[in-house]
DNA sequence: TGTAATTCCTCTAGTGACTAGAGGTTCAAG
DNA sequence: CTTGAACCTCTAGTCACTAGAGGAATTACA
């Protein structure tokens, strides 16, 4: 049996966050000691690790919950898990592409300023000036 | 003179968001008609475009505000604008690197499932299994 | 000029995913 | 048996908006 602090140390999820997950129904309500403190079993630990991992992968809690209900699923439900993963992959690729565009533009902006801090900084101008952007956003 | 809706159409910033920016002090309180509706001038439009652009670049409102107060600044203050841009560039590069790791792992997960939806989907297993990740998070 | 559609106003509350703090109780080590 | 760490509940705050209620002003057209 683990205390909430044990669970936190094992998973890297902070104590208040574990309680938050319980409140949201992502973790089942655990057993309690006579003094009302939470005590978890190995299944709870695995479940929390699953949540941690999927959150790290960027899935919103609603999708994490959807995946959790698919545990032990069969047939079409399995495809659903697959779909969630693929959707998330597409989303991440999209985010990477957009960030790459922003990177390019910020690099341009910082370079615009290097060397000549005389009177008016080009950074401020470049930040305000959307027209000179390569990428559209 | 622009109405709040005009400003919204010109900048792509939604009407309630413009009011929100005003409340936060990012936009000065505009003139009002006899009927209490907001009327903006060209300076307000430029300022909102600046905010829009910097927000698109991922800067939090606090940094946007810092940049706005640097308008017309001189000397060391100009370097400060430059610093903000560089910090943001470093941050974006970091985010890209982390997303790239996640992309790799999600690609692995979706592939683990392709082809054999017989009994237990490998996606669910892979989501829960952090040990087989290449990247650490 | 009348009226109807659209836009605007303020205000409150909700979102996601936590985080922080107050004020108090229980547990574990020495 | 004491002390200090870890635990409890509850409320409120964060960020950057977004949604909705209920009502007033403006604009377009007949």
Place of tokens 């990428």: A135
User: When comparing pLDDT for B51 and B69, which is higher?
Assistant: B51
CB B123 within 8 A of CB A53: no
B17 CA from C13 C1′ (Å) = 16
Is the Cβ atom of A38 within 7 Å of strand D at any atom?
Answer: yes
Of B107, B88, B99, whose CA–CA distance to A94 is shortest?
B99
Q: Does B115 touch chain A (CB under 8 A)?
A: no
CA–CA–CA angle B88, B93, B94 (5° rounding) = 95
CB B11 within 8 A of CB A93: no
CA distance B120 to B108: 17
pLDDT tens, residue order, chain A (137 aa): 999 999 999 999 999 999 999 999 999 999 999 999 999 999 999 999 999 988 887 888 998 988 888 776 666 777 788 888 888 888 888 888 888 887 888 888 777 766 555 444 556 666 666 555 544 44
**According to the model, what pLDDT value does residue A28 have?**
95
Nucleic strand C near CB of residue A36 (< 7 Å): yes
| A107 interaction partners in chain B (CB closer than 8 Å) | 89
Q: Do B128 and A82 touch (CB under 8 A)?
A: no
Nearest residue, CB atoms, A124 vs list B71, B86, B102: B71
pLDDT, one tens digit per residue, over B99-109 is 888 788 888 87
Q: At CB < 8 A and 24+ separation, what contacts does A28-32 make?
A: A31/A1
The answer to whether B81 touches A124, Cβ cutoff 8 Å, is yes
Strand C: list positions under 7 Å from protein Cβ. 7-11, 16-21, 25-28
Tokens for B15, please give them.
């009407």
Question: What is the C-alpha separation between A124 and A37, in angstroms, rounded?
Answer: 54
Global pTM reads: 0.79
């Amino acid at each position: 049996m683990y205390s909430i602090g044990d669970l936190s140390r094992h998973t890297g999820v902070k104590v208040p966050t574990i309680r938050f997950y319980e409140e949201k129904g992502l973790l089942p309500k655990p057993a309690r000691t006579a003094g009302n403190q939470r005590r978890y079993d190995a299944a709870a630990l695995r479940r929390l690790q699953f949540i941690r991992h999927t959150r790290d992968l960027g899935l919103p809690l609603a999708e994490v919950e959807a995946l959790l209900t698919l545990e032990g699923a069969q047939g079409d439900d399995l495809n659903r898990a697959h779909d969630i993963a693929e959707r998330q992959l597409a989303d991440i690729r999209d985010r990477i592409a957009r960030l790459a565009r922003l990177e390019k533009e910020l690099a341009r902006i910082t370079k615009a300023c290097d060397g000549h801090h005389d009177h008016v900084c080009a950074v401020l101008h470049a930040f305000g000036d959307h027209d000179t952007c390569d990428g559209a956003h």
